[in-house]
């Protein structure tokens, strides 16, 4: 299918030079780049990366804390809740 797009002149020149150096057509280069970017965006939407805050302050878990024991964790939080 034919279509018209507007590209920055420097970007177009760089793309043409790259395609030429690698014995490719400009069309194949643009198609590949667009496919890669769309795949990347889809993966970001499905699997968004979240950075969680961490801290080494305090030296780790308190004695007696078992992260696999959710009931025990709730009890500890209740003990330290404000009245």
Give Cα separations from 25 to 49, 52, 64, 65 (angstroms). Answer: 35, 43, 65, 62
CA atoms within 13 A on the CB side of 30: 15
User: Does residue 63 register a pLDDT over 90?
Assistant: no
According to the model, what pLDDT value does residue 45 have?
A: 73
pLDDT of residue 82: 61
Greatest CA separation for the chain: 73
Taking the CA of residue 20 as centre, how many other CA atoms within 13 Å lie in the half-sphere pointing to its CB? 6
Number of continuous H segments (helices) and E segments (strands) in the chain: 3, 0
pLDDT digits (tens, 9 = 90+) for 9-49: 999 999 999 999 999 999 999 999 999 999 988 887 776 67
Return the higher-pLDDT residue of 42 and 57: 42
Strand locations in the chain, DSSP E?
A: none
Six-digit token string for 71: 């009931």
- pTM of this structure: 0.53
């Amino acid at each position: 299918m034919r279509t018209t797009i507007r590209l920055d002149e420097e970007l177009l020149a760089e793309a043409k030079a790259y395609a030429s150096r690698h014995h490719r057509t400009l069309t194949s280069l643009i198609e590949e780049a667009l496919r890669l970017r769309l795949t990347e965006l889809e993966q970001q939407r499905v699997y968004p990366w979240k950075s969680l805050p961490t801290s080494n302050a305090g030296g780790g878990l308190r004695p007696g804390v078992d992260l696999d024991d959710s009931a025990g964790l709730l009890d500890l939080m209740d003990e330290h809740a404000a009245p």
